[in-house]
Structure 1
Amino acid sequence: MNLEGRKIIVNKSSKELSEILKSPENYKDFMPDGLQKFETRDNGFKFGLQGMPEIALKIDEVSEQKAVLKSASSSLDFTLTAALNPVNDTQTEVQMLFEGKFNPFIKMMVEKPLQNFINTLTDKIEVYK
């Protein structure tokens, strides 16, 4: 299952943005309203949203081209990637990309909430100061 967020322009260089995305604490700023729990870990974070199970993510790779988060749970196999494309020295195009391997039943249950989550992440990154 693949999902994509809309492409946005962020008023930060890809270097600045990649530095922000290296730190687990910074992801709290991108979480949707309704965040009930947020814990940082060595190389990632765990969060809980109202009406959803908690999700643990680890920061797998961060460069000036992308930031890749992977599921920290062995029962869920997915990645969430922020593709970073420098526009100029002070702006970066960002697009959230989700790739998961789910059975058809799980896919049917999670597709809409995941798309909403990706859209919210995109909105929060777009207005990040």
Structure 2
Amino acid sequence: MNLEGRKIVVNKSVNELVDLLKNPEDYKTLMPDSLQSFEVRDHGFKFSLKGMPEIALKIEEVTENQVILKSASSSLEFSLKGAFNAISEKQTEVQLLFDGKFNPFIKMMVEKPLQNFINSLTDNIEKI
């Protein structure tokens, strides 16, 4: 299952965004209003949103133009990638890309909440 957030333009350089998103603590400010708990862990974080199960993510890869988060749980295999494209020294195009391997039943249950989560993260990144 692949989901894409809308492309946005942020008034920060690619380096500033990568620096922000490679720190697990900084994700708390990007979470939706329905955040119920947030805990920083080794190279990642764990959080829960109202009406959703707890999710643990680890920062898997950081390069000069992307940050990839992966599920810290072996029962659900997925990744969330923040892709960055420099427009100028102070502006960057950002898009969130979700890739998950789910059975059809799970996909049906999680597709809409995941898209809403990605949209909310995108909205909050746009505000920084």
Match of residue 125 from structure 1: 125
Q: TM-score, normalised by structure 1?
A: 0.98
- 1:64 Cα deviation after fit: 2.2
1:72 paired with 2:38, answer no
Equivalent runs, 1:32-43 vs 2, <5 Å: 32-43=32-43
Instruction: Supply the AA of the counterpart residue of 1:125.
Output: I
Match of residue 10 from structure 1: 10
Q: What percentage of aligned pairs have identical amino acids?
A: 70
Equivalent runs, 1:1-129 vs 2, <5 Å: 1-128=1-128
Which whole-Å CA distance do the structure 2 matches of 1:116 and 1:34 have between them? 11
- 1:30 Cα deviation after fit: 0.6
Q: Secondary structure at the match of 2:88?
A: coil
Q: Secondary structure at the match of 2:32?
A: coil
Which whole-Å CA distance do the structure 2 matches of 1:80 and 1:73 have between them? 14
- Following TM superposition, the consecutive aligned residue runs of length 4 or more in structure 1 with deviations greater than 3 angstroms are none
Which whole-Å CA distance do the structure 2 matches of 1:62 and 1:17 have between them? 11
Which whole-Å CA distance do the structure 2 matches of 1:63 and 1:40 have between them? 21
Superimposed CA distance per residue, residues 5-37 of structure 1 (whole angstroms, 9 cap, x where no aligned partner) = 000001100001100011000000110001110
Q: Unaligned 5+ residue runs, structure 1?
A: none
Q: Unaligned 5+ residue runs, structure 2?
A: none
Q: TM-score, normalised by structure 2?
A: 0.99
